[in-house]
């Protein structure tokens, strides 16, 4: 007896169970050796394996043992397989039978909508059921509008996902867990049960390109909702939609209702005129289908606790919703006070200054909770977008794009439909940059002012005076732009003061060193340089001289180019002339009148009645008038960029002239789309008049560059530009524009 071996074998033996065998390891039992007679007698003579031999069948234990194990019997006939799938479960299948692949049922329309948007194919969204198309429409809904109606209907009546094919709905989706599907919250990255206190938001953001008929789409949607969603008996919400818009769009909506809806089909009230506001009660508002107000009226009403803030509306619609992106403004705060069951934001602008603005939209619509709360939006998106950690930035960008997909619908006029036609077939458009050469004397004056500005900025970059740089930057850029339009617009006093300030500092340098440039960059970053209202306010207070005498002033190079271009247009064509500066429009208006070219004017200083009269006159074409420049219905409309760039349908015109460039390409595109929209029948031209060798060329370049790499935060195809990157780019552009 080997004690050593016994010590080594101290482990417990397992019961005599056969090991789990893989199919490849199954082998016939070995035959006993012939030298053992007893074993030889029990040897079984085997037949060759045939096709009925099942080598994969689990062996069983012998019957004489307690275990159920039995040796494989090679002579046993294979039992016929039982078919467990198909229409006849008891039928015998052949040896190659497999469970058939279960075909998915067709997607529901809602599932198809979610799938199409996820794939980026927004033109494959299902259309609204023909049975639900409202009666009383004077115009036919186009395909993309029918798709928009279906999308709006789904967005205003959201449901939590029930199956995985329902996709992601406001950060919720279905995921398989253990034995069943359960709701999964993407933001929390965990399986959760929705809280009753935080239901899905009812609303949407329509960011369709300008000119695709969003106004008609919304009116049709209001009628669909009126017909199919009656007010519940105990509902706290009435059946009225509150529409808030800029004053410039008021007449356009009223005209669209008149042109598109049969009389009495849609009861609406424009809550704007003083006598209407004075005599209108809550009961009068609740008896309407639609109440139209301006942003200013709403702000005043909420401040005075008027009737608008006392009603629980069925729907709140914000047209040109980017008017309310500043969450600290009184306008936005008034909107947040309105109680509505659902909220829709309409905007055609390609946004936005920073992702934070999109967070304001979520706050207004209450979509994708908790991202509708400012602190949570910062936590999950804004802060991570600014992180140095590339993984965090990528995660935040992906989340932002996903939220955009779930909340926003954007189609553009240039999208191609199935038959390779544009979504909205329009006549061709020709965009040109027209170089305008300043006279040698004017160019010399421009160069002198630019040199003074450069020197003064270097002087102020020293400690103790650096805080004065932002104001100088803004004023210098504004004055240089005005000088390019007409030198007489800049008061000589400003130049004289600038020259005096420069000469009082003998240590002035002419080169902005890297260290100084960095300091200027930091100061601009912490200033109001990025507030879009700052430059507008500066322009309003800019000291200028405008001749009031009868003598005709000397024409600037820009105005000469304008007059030449107007004369070149065919008789009968109408023209829009845009400028950022209203005082320059006054100069143009006076000179055109003296040259026998009547014009109309549209800017922010006009009342609603004046705007209506102006647009009504411009909308008429004098086909029988032999005059090239008719007086009753002038061919030229002068517009300020701020007042005329959005909301107007001016397809009666087919030419646009920009007298000065602007930094934001989206604003320029808005202005262009006053003519490039549904209803345009003539070929279009766009002329950008640029003073050669000046700051205008740089501004135009920046604008064109931004158009190509648009930081559209409402596109899930492009990566949003970080706020810090946009600010740094603007500072760099400003420095280069001033030659620094």
Classify residue 681 by its DSSP letter.
Answer: -
Per-residue pLDDT at 187 exceeds 50? yes
Per-residue pLDDT at 520 exceeds 70? no
Q: For 369, how many CA atoms within 13 A lie in the half-sphere containing its CB? A: 11
> Encoding tokens for residue 575?
């023209």
Q: pLDDT tens across 194-245, in order?
A: 876 679 999 999 999 888 899 999 999 999 999 999 998 889 999 999 999 9
Per-chain mean pLDDT for the chain: 79
Q: Where in the chain is the domain with CATH 3.40.50.300?
A: 557-714
Q: Which of 215, 298, 301 is nearest to 251 (CA)?
A: 215
Q: Which of 315-324, 515-524, 710-719 has the highest mean pLDDT?
A: 315-324
21 contact partners, CB below 8 Å, separation of at least 6: 59
147 contact partners, CB below 8 Å, separation of at least 6: 122, 123, 125, 126, 127, 128
> Encoding tokens for residue 689?
């008049």
Please give the C-alpha separations between residue 629 and each of 262, 569, 573, 595, 596, in angstroms, as whole numbers. Answer: 37, 11, 10, 11, 7
> Encoding tokens for residue 691?
């003073």
pLDDT band at 695 (very low <50, low <70, confident <90, very high): confident
Per-residue pLDDT at 538 exceeds 60? no
d(CA 720, CA 329): 25
Q: Where in the chain is the domain with CATH 3.40.50.10810?
A: 201-409
Q: Cβ–Cβ contacts within 10 Å for residue 226, how many?
A: 20
Collapsing DSSP to helix, strand or coil, 315 comes out as: strand
- Predicted TM-score of the model (pTM): 0.71
Which H or E run contains 345? strand 339-346
pLDDT attached to residue 77: 55
Q: pLDDT tens across 275-295, in order?
A: 888 889 999 999 999 999 999
Please give the C-alpha separations between residue 156 and each of 202, 221, 461, 574, in angstroms, as whole numbers. Answer: 5, 11, 54, 41
Please give the C-alpha separations between residue 475 and each of 458, 468, 665, in angstroms, as whole numbers. Answer: 16, 11, 22
pLDDT attached to residue 415: 85
pLDDT attached to residue 717: 33
In the CATH hierarchy, which top-level class contains the domain 201-409?
A: alpha beta
> Encoding tokens for residue 443?
């160019």
Which H or E run contains 342? strand 339-346
Q: pLDDT tens across 630-663, in order?
A: 888 999 999 998 888 777 889 999 999 999 988 7
Q: For 492, how many CA atoms within 13 A lie in the half-sphere containing its CB? A: 1
d(CA 665, CA 663): 6
Per-residue pLDDT at 23 exceeds 50? no
DSSP string, 58-123: PPB--TTSSS--B---TTSPPPPPBP-SSS-TTSBP-TT--PPPPPPPPPPHHHHHHHHHHTT-GG
d(CA 557, CA 524): 33
pLDDT attached to residue 289: 97
The packing angle between helices 582-594 and 557-568, to 10°, is 60
The packing angle between helices 214-228 and 143-156, to 10°, is 50
pLDDT attached to residue 104: 75
- Beta strands 636-640 and 203-206 are unpaired
Q: What is the CATH number of domain 557-714?
A: 3.40.50.300
> Encoding tokens for residue 108?
């529901």
pLDDT attached to residue 56: 47
């Amino acid at each position: 007896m080997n004690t050593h071996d016994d010590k080594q074998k101290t482990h417990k033996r397992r019961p005599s169970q056969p090991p789990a065998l893989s199919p490849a390891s199954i082998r016939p039992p070995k035959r006993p050796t012939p030298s053992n007679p007893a074993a030889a007698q029990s040897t079984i003579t085997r037949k060759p394996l045939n096709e009925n031999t099942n080598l994969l069948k689990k062996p069983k234990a012998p019957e004489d043992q307690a275990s159920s194990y039995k040796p494989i019997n090679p002579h046993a006939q294979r039992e016929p397989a039982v078919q467990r799938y198909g229409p006849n479960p008891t039928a015998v299948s052949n040896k190659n039978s497999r469970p058939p692949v279960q075909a998915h049922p067709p997607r529901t329309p809602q599932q198809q909508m979610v799938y199409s948007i996820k794939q980026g194919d927004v033109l494959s969204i299902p259309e609204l059921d023909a049975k639900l198309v409202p009666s009383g429409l004077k115009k036919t809904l186009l395909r993309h509008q029918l798709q928009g109606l279906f999308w709006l209907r789904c967005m205003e009546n959201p449901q939590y996902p029930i199956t995985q094919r329902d996709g992601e709905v406001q950060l919720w989706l279905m995921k398989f867990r253990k034995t069943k599907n359960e709701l999964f919250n993407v933001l929390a990255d965990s399986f959760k049960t929705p809280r009753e206190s935080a239901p899905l938001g009812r609303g949407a953001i329509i960011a369709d390109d300008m000119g695709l008929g969003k106004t008609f789409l919304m009116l049709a949607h209001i009628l669909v909702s009126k017909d199919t969603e009656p007010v519940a008996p105990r509902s706290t919400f009435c059946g009225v939609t509150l529409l808030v818009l800029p004053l410039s769009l008021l007449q356009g909506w009223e005209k669209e209702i008149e042109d598109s809806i049969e009389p009495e089909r849609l009861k609406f009230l424009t809550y704007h005129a003083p006598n209407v506001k004075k005599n209108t009660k809550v009961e009068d508002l609740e008896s309407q289908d639609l109440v139209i107000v301006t942003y200013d009226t709403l702000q005043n009403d909420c401040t005075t606790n008027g009737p608008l803030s006392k009603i629980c509306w069925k729907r709140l619609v914000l047209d040109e919703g980017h008017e309310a992106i500043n969450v600290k403004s009184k306008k936005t705060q008034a909107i947040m006070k309105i109680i509505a069951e659902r909220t829709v934001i309409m905007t055609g602008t390609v946004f936005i200054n920073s992702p934070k603005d999109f967070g304001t939209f979520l706050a207004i619509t209450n979509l994708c909770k908790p991202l509708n709360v400012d602190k949570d939006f910062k936590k999950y998106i804004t802060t991570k977008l600014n992180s140095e950690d590339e993984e965090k930035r990528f995660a935040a960008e992906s989340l932002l794009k996903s939220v955009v997909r779930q909340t926003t619908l954007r189609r553009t006029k240039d999208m191609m439909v199935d038959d390779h036609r544009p979504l909205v077939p329009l006549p061709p458009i020709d965009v040109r940059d027209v170089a305008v050469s300043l006279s040698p004397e004017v160019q010399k004056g421009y160069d002198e002012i630019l040199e003074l500005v450069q020197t003064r900025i270097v002087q102020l970059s020293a400690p103790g005076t650096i805080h004065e740089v932002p104001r100088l930057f803004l004023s210098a850029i504004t004055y240089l732009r005005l000088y390019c339009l007409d030198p007489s617009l800049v008061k000589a006093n400003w130049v004289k003061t600038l020259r005096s300030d420069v000469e009082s500092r003998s240590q002035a340098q002419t080169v902005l060193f890297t260290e100084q440039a960095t300091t200027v960059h930091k100061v601009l970053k912490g200033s109001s340089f990025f507030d879009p209202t700052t430059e507008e306010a500066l322009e309003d207070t800019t000291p200028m001289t405008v001749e009031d005498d009868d003598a005709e002033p000397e024409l600037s190079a820009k105005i000469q180019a304008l007059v030449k271009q107007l004369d070149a247009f065919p008789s009968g064509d109408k023209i829009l002339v845009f400028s950022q500066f209203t005082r320059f429009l006054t100069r143009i208006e006076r000179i055109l009148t003296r040259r026998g070219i009547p014009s109309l004017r549209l800017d922010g200083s006009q009342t609603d009645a004046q705007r209506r009269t102006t647009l009504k006159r411009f909308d008429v074409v004098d086909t029988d008038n032999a005059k090239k420049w008719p007086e009753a219905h002038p061919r030229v409309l002068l517009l300020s960029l701020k007042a005329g760039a959005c909301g107007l349908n001016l397809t009666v015109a087919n030419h646009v002239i920009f007298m000065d460039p602007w930094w934001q390409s989206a604003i320029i595109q808005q202005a262009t789309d006053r003519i490039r929209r549904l209803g345009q029948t003539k070929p279009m031209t766009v002329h950008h008049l640029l003073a050669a060798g000046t700051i205008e060329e740089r501004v135009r370049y920046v604008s064109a560059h931004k158009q190509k790499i648009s930081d559209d935060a409402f596109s899930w195809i492009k990566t949003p530009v970080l706020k810090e990157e946009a600010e740094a780019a603007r500072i760099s552009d400003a420095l280069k524009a001033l030659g620094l």
